[in-house]
Chain A
Amino acid sequence: MSNARPLQWCHYDFKAMGSPCSISLYAPDAQQGANTIQQAVADIVRLENKFSRYQKNNPLFHVNQAAANGASIAIDDEFRSLLNYADTCYQQSNGLFDITAGALRHVWDFSSTNLPQQSDIEHALENVGWTSVTVENNQLSFGKPHMEIDFGGIVKEYAADSAANICLAQGTRHGIVNLGGDIKAIGPHPDGKPWHVNIRDPEHPGKHMGSLELINEGIATSGNYERFIDINGKRYCHILSPKTGWPVTGLSSVTVKASQCVIAGSACTIAMLMEDKGPDWLRNLGVEFLHQ
Chain B
Amino acid sequence: MEREPAVVAVTNKKGHKSEALTALMGAALALPGINAQAAEQGYRSDQVSFGYHHTEYKESGDRMSVTADQLSITVPIGQSLETNFTATKDVTSGASPVVNFLDGEGKPHQFLETGASIEDQRDIYEGTLSYYGDGSLTSIKLGTSEEDDYESNYSNISVKIDINDKLTNLSFGYGHSDDKVWNSYNPNVLLEEPSIFNNRRKDEFSIGIGQVINRDTILQFSVTYVNSEGFLSDPYKKSVVVDEALIYSPELLHFLGFTDVSDFRDLDNPILNVAGLFSTLTDLGVVQFLNDSGITAALNKLFDIPEISAFVFGLEKDNRPESRNQIISLLRLSHYFESTNSALHADYRYSDDDWGVYSHTMELKWNVGLGLGWQVSPGVRYYTQHSAYFYDTFFETIPEHGYLTSDYRLAGFGAISKKLEISKSFGRDFTLFVHYEEYDRRYDFELGDQTNGGELDDYTFSLVSVSFDASF
Contact = CB atoms under 8 A, between A and B. Distances in A.
Q: Do A and B bind each other?
A: yes
B210 A2 contact: yes
B39 A77 contact: no
A2 B24 contact: no
Interface in B224-280: none
A206 interface: no
Interface string B99-136: 00000000000000000000000000000000000000
A50 to B, nearest CB: 11
Contacts of B11: 288-290
Contact of B7 (A35, A88, A162, A201): A201
B30 A81 contact: yes
A146 to B, nearest CB: 27
A16 interface: no
Contacts of A169: 38-39, 41-42, 44
B26 interface: yes
B25 A260 contact: yes
Interface stretch (A98-106, A107-115, A137-145, A185-193): A185-193
A193 B4 CA distance: 34
Given A89-B24, A266-B24, A81 B336 contact: no
A19 to B, nearest CB: 18
- Size range of the interface on B? 35 or more
B330 A1 contact: yes
B301 interface: no
B369 A279 contact: no
A85 B30 contact: yes
B23 interface: yes
B16 interface: yes
Nearest to B332: A1
Contacts of A183: none
Contact of B215 (A2, A168, A190, A287): A190
Contacts of B317: none
B217 A6 contact: yes
B215 A5 contact: no
Interface stretch (B58-66, B161-169, B302-310): B161-169
A209 to B, nearest CB: 5
A78 interface: yes
Contact of A250 (B1, B32, B43): B1
A158 B34 contact: yes
A88 B338 CA distance: 46
Given A209-B9, A284-B18, A259 B25 contact: yes
Nearest to B215: A190
B167 A5 contact: no
Given A192-B165, A286-B16, A4 B1 contact: no
B14 interface: yes
A2 B1 contact: no
B8 interface: yes
A84 B220 contact: no
B41 to A, nearest CB: 4
Given A4-B210, A285-B20, A288-B12, A189 B215 contact: yes
Contacts of A266: 24
B222 A1 contact: yes
A30 interface: yes
B332 to A, nearest CB: 7
Contacts of A263: 21, 24-25, 28
Nearest to B79: A169
B401 interface: no
B80 to A, nearest CB: 11
Contacts of B367: 5
Nearest to B35: A165
Most A CB within 10 A of own CB, among B14, B214, B373: B214
Contact of A210 (B9, B15, B18): B9
Nearest to A235: B3
Contact of A290 (B10, B43, B373): B10
23 contacts: A4-B212, A5-B345, A6-B336, A29-B375, A47-B33, A78-B32, A81-B27, A81-B31, A85-B30, A92-B23, A158-B33, A165-B34, A165-B38, A166-B38, A169-B42, A169-B44, A191-B215, A210-B7, A215-B165, A259-B28, A285-B18, A286-B12, A290-B10
